[in-house]
Structure 1
Amino acid sequence: MAGYLQRVVDQELDDLLAELPAITLDGPKGVGKTETAVRRARTVLTLDDPGQRELLIADPGRLERAAPPVLVDEWQLHPPVWDLVRRGVDRGAEPGRFLLTGSASPIDAPTHSGAGRIVRLRMRPMALAERGVETPTVSLRALLSGARDSVEGTTNLGLEAYAEEIVSSGFPGIRQLSGRARRAQLAGYLERIVEHDFPEQGHLVRRPATLRAWLAAYAAATATTTSYNAILDAATAGDSDKPAKTTTIAYRDILSQLWLLESVEAWLPTRKQLNRLGSAPKHHLADPALAAALLGADTRALLNNTVGKRPHVRDGVLLGQLFESLVTLDLQVYAQPAEAQVRHLRTKNGDHEVDLIVERPDRRVLGIEVKLAPVVTDADVRHLHWLQSQIGDELVDAAVIYTGPEAYRRQDGIAVIPAALLGP
């Protein structure tokens, strides 16, 4: 366990295991679920080991006889485990008895949802605060409190560092690599999805090149509400033999089952004056590094790094989209322990848009704009002021996440926060 980096979900797990008998930790392969879960287990049943899987099939009772806490790793490879755990809970299992991890939704669903018995937690790739690149000075939970306290802190991280963090990945085993090795590992990860994970989920990919092209088109739509029809058209431009719509729906479904899509749903409040909001989701992959890899974009492709000059953004919008995806990942990680949801807002005609909305359980919200810039201007906060005019006190706070060095509050009360200084 040497070198283990503390994750935000660690505290969530400890809090819930102290009172609940069964937790399942869901997330894509390589995100660190097993490493996190095994630290809390006395018995580990690893179901991607055929031998251990067969032993459990032959003797299901070993699950309840095992010394707790019992970790069932990759439980989806033997879905009856779910019902075994559920029945154990019904028979009065003590808090912290069972911990499951899963890298995919099972093909054969359990007979019972587990609602009320098994609590699900999502584990995502590492947010910036978990990567150790900087010590956060601003808490998302504090922003959500509505206290509107002062924000402060300074970081030396700038545009080049954020571009490097985007391509470095939040997967623990990948980000420790450098350069070519990291790119090769990301390429191998994506190849495994096409060649292995799709068939394992019961979908034989007859045209792998089409799936790869669709994934690249989806990556190019990162942080946008581009329609799925437009994504398909971009993936098959010039191809007279386009795949059926049902095929691309299957792509989305299976990628979701693998926890690899992180669409941000539209915020749809019930207020009458906001009844003209769009409902399309914003597209994100689980890790912006996957999107960058699909598009062949490393830091050299994202930045103009002319000798003797400060690095600056290349022409185009890709780095801005990927930076928003990185910030979105951060917010999803930090919002989960606060029981908050990450959404976005866009009016149907596009005249107003707030990049991200963090909604508390009581439906009051924090509005956030994401800016790939070292300076925040009045123009950058105009949509936040519009949102304030629409919902009043239901907006508990507003912030701009940017690439500059200082955390502070503007005179209008809007917080300005470097991405690296935001934490849970």
Structure 2
Amino acid sequence: MIEREIDAHRLRAALERSPVVLMSGPRQVGKSTLARQVVEPARSNLFDLEDPRDLARLGEPTLTLPGAHGTVVIDEAQHRRDLFPVLRVLVDEDRRPGRFLVLGSASPDLVGLSSESLAGRVTVLELAGLRMADVGLSSRMDLWLRGGLPPSYLADSDQLSAAWRDDYIATFLERDLGGLGFRMPSTTMRRFWTMLAHYHGQVWNASELARSLGVSRPTVDRYLDALTDALVIRQLQPWFANLAKRQVRAPKVYVRDTGLLHRLLQIGDRDDLLGHPKAGASWEGFVIEQFLQAHPVVDPAFWATHGGAEIDLVFGWERQRLGLEIKLTDRPGVTPSMRNALADLELDHILVAHAGSQSFRLGERITAVATDELLTSPLDTFVTS
């Protein structure tokens, strides 16, 4: 088992300040394991809502929960969305920190958080896949190839990892999506998800995918939102600026876990990956996910114009607006897009993440940064606030 100290620290801090902590994350990402690592609840305080016995124990939550001591852990809470109103009442009676830890395999809204206001009572955390800091820099290639879901990453071979991910995709489509309330044929969703894999890192084009699937545009938008709510797809929203230039207004789409992306693309090993036409886009998505886990940035987005200027990530940090460009090369250079972004968006600095081992200045307000350093060091290492 890999000790996930950063996420364990985040969870402990949340439990020390809030009566309710909601930790969401995709299936098999390690939520239950992390909860046991941090809380170690007695069996009487752990409710796994995929277990019929625990569902029965929570048949009358107003009778079962008030007398529970310590932290009550409710796993797979999306199966009982009616629990949140009960938790609100119980917390209003006793606001001690760390009273409830709720785990869900979907976005907070889909788990049920939006059904009842817990404002001022809840801290929401998202647990993504393994971080670079969890596995070490020497394992970067394995993490990129296999993805951050622990059973996939920890498999004894690439072949076993690939087989596990194939089973994961099948189970997710055939069972898990239905459990989250989405009623779509699994064969249709597999076709759609595979198409999305080929669009990974590109601007969303609903009309084109709708024609390919033979369905309406609202239907493919609904499919995309379903996979987004299930936390397996990221819709990176566009950054708008008050410019005369025509700017892209549709989101970019990414398969959040590159291990799942690679199986949808039938990539099996390192040679397949490095020789694949989507290698650069896969690397871009991998770095974006790792970067957003590693750094407390706000309002992450991408920026692009119809004239071809583009920045992979624009975000706020320490009262600055920064840009991030991601390159699968060890010889990055300054591009016209970077110069346009500095001028048009008034960025304070652009970081160019590259696959080499050295960080160096490329130009005024542009710094080339080794990706390994970027994902394991504080941002103020490269940009002063």
What range is the shorter-chain TM-score in? 0.7 to 0.9
State the partner residue of 2:328. Answer: 372
CA distance in 2, matches of 1:412, 1:107: 46
Q: TM-score, normalised by structure 1?
A: 0.80
Counterpart of 1:100?
102
The question of 1:300 aligning with 2:258 is answered no
Alpha-carbon distance in 1 for matches of 2:8, 2:358: 29
Please give the alpha-carbon distance, in whole angstroms, between the structure 2 residues aligned to 1:15 and 1:23: 10
What secondary structure sits across from 1:82 in the alignment? Answer: helix
Matches within 5 A, 1:20-419: 20-41=18-39, 42=41, 43-104=45-106, 106=110, 111-134=115-138, 162=141, 164-177=142-155, 178-206=157-185, 208-234=186-212, 236=213, 242-269=214-241, 272-273=242-243, 276-298=246-268, 299-303=270-274, 313-314=275-276, 316=277, 318-335=278-295, 338=296, 340-347=298-305, 349-360=306-317, 362=319, 364-379=320-335, 382-392=336-346, 395-419=347-371
Aligned-pair CA distance for 1:17: 2.1
C-alpha displacement of 1:83: 1.7
Residue 381 of structure 2 is matched in structure 1 by: none
Which residue identity lines up with residue 343 of structure 1 in the other structure?
A
Instruction: Give the distance between the partners of 2:38 and 2:72, measured in 1 at CA.
Output: 9
Residue 334 of structure 2 aligns with an amino acid whose one-letter code is D
Paired with 2:281 and 2:251, the residues of 1 have a C-alpha distance of 15
CA gap of 1:275–1:13, structure 2 versus 1, over 3 A, is: farther
Deviations 1:37-92 (A, max 9, x none): 22232332222211011111135332232122221111111122222222222223
Give the whole-Å Cα distance in 1 for the aligned partners of 2:23 and 2:244.
36
**Range that drifts further, 353-362 or 367-376:** 353-362
Structure 1 unaligned spans of 5+: 135-156, 237-241, 304-312
Q: CA deviation at 1:232?
A: 3.3
SS of the counterpart of 1:356?
strand
Q: Aligned-pair distance for 1:288?
A: 1.6
CA distances 1:152-192 after superposition (whole Å, capped 9, x unpaired):
xxxxx8xxx64x43221101121011221111111111101
Say if 1:216 and 1:295, in contact at 8 Å, map to a contact too: yes
Separation of aligned partners in 1, 2:243 and 2:217: 35
Q: CA RMSD in A?
A: 2.4
* Partner SS, residue 262 of structure 1: strand
Gaps of 5+ in 2: 379-385
**Counterpart residue type for residue 406 of structure 1:** Q
Q: Deviations over 1:202-244 (max 9, x none)?
A: 33334x332211111101111110312223344x4xxxxx234
- Is contact 1:70–1:98 with CA below 8 Å preserved after alignment? yes
Q: Which residue type is aligned with residue 389 of structure 1?
A: A
Verify the 8 A CA contact 2:78 2:104 in the aligned structure 1: yes
| TM-superposed deviation, 1:353 | 0.5
**1:130 is paired with a residue of what secondary structure?**
helix
Name the CA distance, whole Å, in 1 between partners of 2:105 and 2:204: 27
Q: Secondary structure at the match of 2:148?
A: coil
Letter in 2 for 1:125: G
Q: TM-score, normalised by structure 2?
A: 0.87
> Which range moves more in the overlay, 293-302 or 211-220?
293-302
Equivalent pairs counted in the alignment come to 368
CA contact (8 A) 1:31 1:124 kept: yes
Query: What CA distance in whole angstroms lies between the structure 1 residues aligned with 2:61 and 2:190?
Result: 41
